[in-house]
Structure 1
């Protein structure tokens, strides 16, 4: 029995259908922000509500709706949940072995100022992880590092959520942008150029925003030179690499340039007043011990090894071999391809595969449980933990014990993620997200202003800029052409708007909460980040409108 998506299912009206489609979204934020439910309860009840709306209002067969929820739940575990487990596990190994004390001391040797530490870890290092891995690893690892350095859990997670805005569009070796080429036919390089003429403007201000949130304007002004070095070096590199190299390397290059530029700058410049938290001693030097270069490298080695593995997992040819789709004559990659093929499972989803008919194209929608066990970024991190086991000198028994302690620690956030991703899949199957997109597409001449909101909605619901781009790229392209807007600008706006929604996406909130030990307190993180998400979205909306009207010279 097939199901054809109907975007005017409620009262034969697009407007009423769109209004009903927002019910699960509104409920989720109400449950977290107003009722302050634990994340997994809010997620589970949102999923149940979405199933009710899908089956009653959008007339999705019950079996199809449930199958869609199961597909989302599986995706919530692999790759997303797997990344969180292994990321937090890697951090816990450094704590368990006492090596995090050395990491802490090495950061203090660069600067004792908490404001600069936030720029180094949340902004620069987090952006590097986003460029190499994506899918929540940047927030999980950088937030855990900040907590280990002495930041309060809520503050650490919130800062990392906001810092993650700058690099998301080029995350995971540029996947959010390259995926749009196949959907729209527009070259990825052209989209990359346009995104590179929007987000660097935002990236300049993100470091300032981070410090301002921490300490207010007066103490932010004290470290303005460092903020400018961090933001401008990142923005310039992001612009140049996105416009002349393509979408694969902007995050990796920008983050490294920003990290090293700030670290070198701090060798020659110090703020007049060193900022410390209220409960700290006036002098952090007592916490800074002298370690040899070998001890420092050993302590940082888990993250160095992590960098090597996730970078390798992101190389296109290796990535194909890891999932069993490599077609070449390299003997090593062919061997890896055999293993990758054996560890990749894509069974069809019962009651869902080729059952749903796309309401826009009339084509059947394939549905499989995508389990790329070797190719998942979480597996790359797992290999890093295995290598780190030998470097850090921890026994196998303690290694295994730490792993199971980690899983137990984040079991509720994992449930939250499975539920909210399940909701996203149900919304897509029912056509609820497409309905919201179509209503925004009717804004006519004002569409350039509203275009980023589509991307924002997509990421808030799906938790992924890539998924949002897959969902709305074609709609953005067609609508832009119909209202006289450059489609390249519309695609960039979808990505740019999407990055501002990442910080309040339910699954991202769950990742951040899990990383810093705030499981069940996602509502506090939402309250922390929501207003900044709206401010940044508004900025992208204005910029996109101006680029479509008076700043057309910025369009490639």
Structure 2
């Protein structure tokens, strides 16, 4: 039996916290400073967490290994499981040619790549996050943008940042429902509080995306659309958090945002069209493109969906309007039936999700669930109660990843594919994602080791010493936890009780702090090794996750600073009226 001890170093929380932070520091230094591939940074962090657990916290070696294995198992199912199946779903549309149909349909809305980035990365990406999550929005949307001629590095950066604000209600509201189960707080109140925090980010993300793509000129020329998209999504997410079940908030927000954006484009177009952003005209950005590694460019050009004008005329610099006219002239307009068939896989996900809400269907699917105490783990807290992390639960059919898998199977005949092609595509997808799977398993292994040994609680107790000043720190913890685990759900599982306990000891609102953990987590999603690994695979940058990390890290610092300021204001009479 291992009894957790939270101050193993000289009975000092501060000294113990210094050791407990080592796995996190290892991960971020190796990934962001020394530029190691995410898989090796994650593996090194796992080794450091195991050493700290065994030699600093005194956790028996066999239990350390068992805890790491449990974390790796949870990392695969359900966390990366959803990403595997969501990317396979998209690859089915590639195999059938309907990904090109979807691309052409989006290109018909506007030939401007900055507009396409808002529609694909922000609107469509939010829908994918609402339905599946797990890195799928980054992988799918990045490939779509590359196929339209956007530079791979910019495509990945844009998609990583776009996949933030929808995360709180993503994967059918899983982060919030898990947080409610752990803290025993009302789901609706947490939902309402998150709906008064996360939409702040939604307001500005579309503008950030066009700035990344085209600098200040892009922001100046496309800000009306960015404003409409951001405002539409933020309003729908805010209203939906109060009026809708958590499972539907982001789905409705994404559809409302897409509808509002497309309607706005019927009456407005950018003054200058940009249809070739593969090599930016700005000198600072052009140097980045010229210095891009050959494998990056080759991988992007080899993707099945390539064929946009930018890939064919990479070294030509025609005027933007001439390119737009030429591109539009060669666009094939597909039949309505083919466009609907291209959308069928995503409609299938919605239908399967709806079916799981039917009582007898949910009961039948839920019956195939495994719950058991993980072998070799005997961990109790200081009060003698068994730590919840020693119990594993696998919902084989009701997990979001399995729901997407079922939708993929249903989509095979709809896309007119044969079973052999679908199976071959799945195996190829697994092979391409092997390092992403390895990275996620290592990172979640770190989270479980830190949780089981007591390192997480040590860090939390140390942070809680800030008292009422802890409020602006609260979302930062969610940011770090999601960056570590790659999942806002996992971040809530790690720090949910910590936020609740801190609230009770400091007199702050428990709804405010637990919701802040979720809202802060959405920012950490952009720099999580899981998302970075999936994004690197999607754009042909395997082993160069550190480049992506540095591209998005600064933006996430600005976002978490704004969110921390909001949470602080909500903890005071200034905005305290916003807390339900």
TM-score (norm 2): 0.87
Q: 1:199 offset after TM fit, Å?
A: 1.6
Match of residue 362 from structure 1: 384
Match of residue 187 from structure 2: 188
Alignment root-mean-square deviation, CA: 2.1
Contact 1:88/1:144 (<8 A) preserved: no
Q: 1:196 offset after TM fit, Å?
A: 1.5
SS of the equivalent of 1:11 reads coil
Q: 1:333 offset after TM fit, Å?
A: 5.3
1:542 to 555, 559, 565: 565
Match of residue 138 from structure 2: 139
- Bigger mean CA deviation after superposition, 175-184 or 519-528: 175-184
Contact 2:374/2:392 (<8 A) preserved: yes
1: CA distance, partners of 2:431 / 2:330: 31
Match of residue 455 from structure 1: 478
1: CA distance, partners of 2:330 / 2:440: 37
CA distance 1:96–1:178, change in 2 (3 Å): closer
2: CA distance, partners of 1:445 / 1:466: 25
SS of the equivalent of 1:216 reads helix
2: CA distance, partners of 1:246 / 1:302: 23
1:527 to 550, 560, 568: 550
Q: Equivalent residues in 2 for 1:147-162 (5 A)?
A: 147-162=146-161
- Bigger mean CA deviation after superposition, 366-375 or 461-470: 366-375
Q: Equivalent residues in 2 for 1:115-514 (5 A)?
A: 115-279=114-278, 280=310, 282-283=323-324, 284-310=327-353, 312-313=355-356, 315=357, 330=360, 336-337=364-365, 340-341=366-367, 343-352=368-377, 355-359=378-382, 361-366=383-388, 367-514=390-537
TM-score (norm 1): 0.91
2: CA distance, partners of 1:399 / 1:183: 38
SS of the equivalent of 1:167 reads helix
Match of residue 95 from structure 2: 96
Q: 1:278 offset after TM fit, Å?
A: 4.2
- Bigger mean CA deviation after superposition, 464-473 or 528-537: 464-473
CA distance 1:410–1:182, change in 2 (3 Å): closer
2: CA distance, partners of 1:552 / 1:81: 38
Match of residue 286 from structure 2: none
2: CA distance, partners of 1:194 / 1:47: 34
Match of residue 58 from structure 1: 57
2: CA distance, partners of 1:114 / 1:312: 37
2: CA distance, partners of 1:379 / 1:185: 27
Contact 1:440/1:454 (<8 A) preserved: no
CA distance 1:134–1:290, change in 2 (3 Å): closer
1: CA distance, partners of 2:206 / 2:332: 29
Q: 1:110 offset after TM fit, Å?
A: 0.7
Contact 1:133/1:311 (<8 A) preserved: no
Contact 1:132/1:171 (<8 A) preserved: yes
Deviations 1:463-516 (A, max 9, x none): 222222233233323322433322222122211211111111222222322333
Contact 1:32/1:526 (<8 A) preserved: yes
Contact 2:114/2:218 (<8 A) preserved: no
Contact 2:83/2:133 (<8 A) preserved: no
2: CA distance, partners of 1:109 / 1:122: 16
Q: 1:246 offset after TM fit, Å?
A: 4.9
Deviations 1:236-280 (A, max 9, x none): 111111123353322111111001110121122111111122452
Deviations 1:430-486 (A, max 9, x none): 111111111110012311121212222222222222222233233323322433322
Unpaired segments of 5 or more residues in structure 1? 319-329
Contact 2:82/2:133 (<8 A) preserved: no
SS of the equivalent of 1:370 reads strand
Deviations 1:524-551 (A, max 9, x none): 2211111111111111111111122222
Deviations 1:160-179 (A, max 9, x none): 22112111111223232233
CA distance 1:387–1:186, change in 2 (3 Å): closer
CA distance 1:188–1:524, change in 2 (3 Å): same
1: CA distance, partners of 2:537 / 2:372: 30
Contact 2:81/2:401 (<8 A) preserved: yes
1: CA distance, partners of 2:64 / 2:36: 25
Match of residue 555 from structure 1: 579
Q: 1:81 offset after TM fit, Å?
A: 2.7
Contact 1:373/1:379 (<8 A) preserved: yes
2: CA distance, partners of 1:70 / 1:310: 30
2: CA distance, partners of 1:212 / 1:407: 34
Match of residue 326 from structure 1: none
Q: Number of aligned residue pairs: give it.
A: 534
Deviations 1:133-153 (A, max 9, x none): 233333333333333333333
1: CA distance, partners of 2:185 / 2:568: 21
Q: Equivalent residues in 2 for 1:35-114 (5 A)?
A: 35-114=34-113
SS of the equivalent of 2:75 reads helix
